[in-house]
A and B are shown apart, each in its own frame.
Chain A
Amino acid sequence: GEDVEQSLFLSVREGDSSVINCTYTDSSSTYLYWYKQEPGAGLQLLTYIFSNMDMKQDQRLTVLLNKKDKHLSLRIADTQTGDSAIYFCAEIYGQNFVFGPGTRLSVLP
């Protein structure tokens, strides 16, 4: 079946850049997503990238897509304590969404 993989934990210091990585298996996915889940809350769409793009930038967020390697990354510049959360990578597989296990980002002072 379809599989989306992410490392489970990442720690960075406040002010540094964070890079969260994801690999997926369905090369036909049209969209790939990053969701953010803050403690006690649901998932909130952070950003997404269409499969014919290599990069998308939105303020402090940069998404890079390497279709050949089926690798997606999310870079957060100038990471702040408010960025501490779980970040989920997701893709569309058929007509449904497949989520990775989530990467818990901890921002250290």
Chain B
Amino acid sequence: DADVTQTPRNRITKTGKRIMLECSQTKGHDRMYWYRQDPGLGLRLIYYSFDVKDINKGEISDGYSVSRQAQAKFSLSLESAIPNQTALYFCATSDQGAETQYFGPGTRLLVL
């Protein structure tokens, strides 16, 4: 079984709709992250959380919100989706003090 899972894997939605992307992990890591990937821009950090009570904005948090419901779950919401939020979204985890991150398979979102 995958250690970091994301649902849905693909989603098409319309401008103005609310969308939630979910991430779950079984690695027992404290730290979780949401990134978006756009061609030629690499990965940009949206939000991150170092434990259940900790939420921090990343480089591009405008238009997004997150919820850390439990150590194992970190969800990303687009309150009112817009076309330039069309991208590939990745969740990642890391352990405190660890030297690397573990990525989920990604969610491909298309906003029409």
Chain A interface mostly? strand
- Among B35, B40, B42, B45: residue with most chain A CB under 10 A: B42
> Are A44 and B103 within 8 A (Cβ)?
yes
A88: interface (CB < 8 Å): yes
Q: 1/0 per position for A61-101, CB-CB distance to B under 8 A?
A: 00000000000000000000000000010001001110111
* Given known A-B contacts A42-B90, A43-B90, A99 and B104 have beta carbons under 8 A apart: no
| B interface residues, how many (CB within 8 angstroms) | 23
Q: Return the contact of B43 from the options A44, A88, A95 (Cβ within 8 A).
A: A88
B58-90 interface with A by 8 A CB criterion: 58-59, 90
Q: 1/0 per position for A19-47, CB-CB distance to B under 8 A?
A: 00000000000110101000001111100
> Are B41 and A101 within 8 A (Cβ)?
yes
A8: interface (CB < 8 Å): yes
- Closest-by-CB residue of A relative to B106 is A42
Q: Return the contact of A96 from the options B45, B100, B105 (Cβ within 8 A).
A: B45
- Among B58, B92, B101, B104: residue with most chain A CB under 10 A: B101
Interface size band for A: 20 to 34
Interchain CA distance A43-B40 in the complex, whole Å: 15
* Given known A-B contacts A8-B40, A101-B41, A102-B42, A43 and B99 have beta carbons under 8 A apart: no
Interchain CA distance A22-B78 in the complex, whole Å: 33
Interchain CA distance A22-B58 in the complex, whole Å: 23
Q: Which 9 residue pairs are nearest across A and B when measured between Cβ atoms?
A: A42-B103, A101-B42, A99-B43, A99-B42, A43-B103, A42-B105, A31-B99, A42-B106, A45-B100
13 A-B pairs within 8 Å (CB atoms) are namely A4-B42, A35-B103, A42-B106, A43-B43, A43-B103, A45-B101, A95-B50, A96-B48, A97-B33, A100-B42, A101-B42, A102-B40, A102-B42
What residues make up the interface of A, taking CB atoms closer than 8 Å to B?
A: 1, 4, 8, 30-31, 33, 35, 41-45, 48, 88, 92, 95-97, 99-102
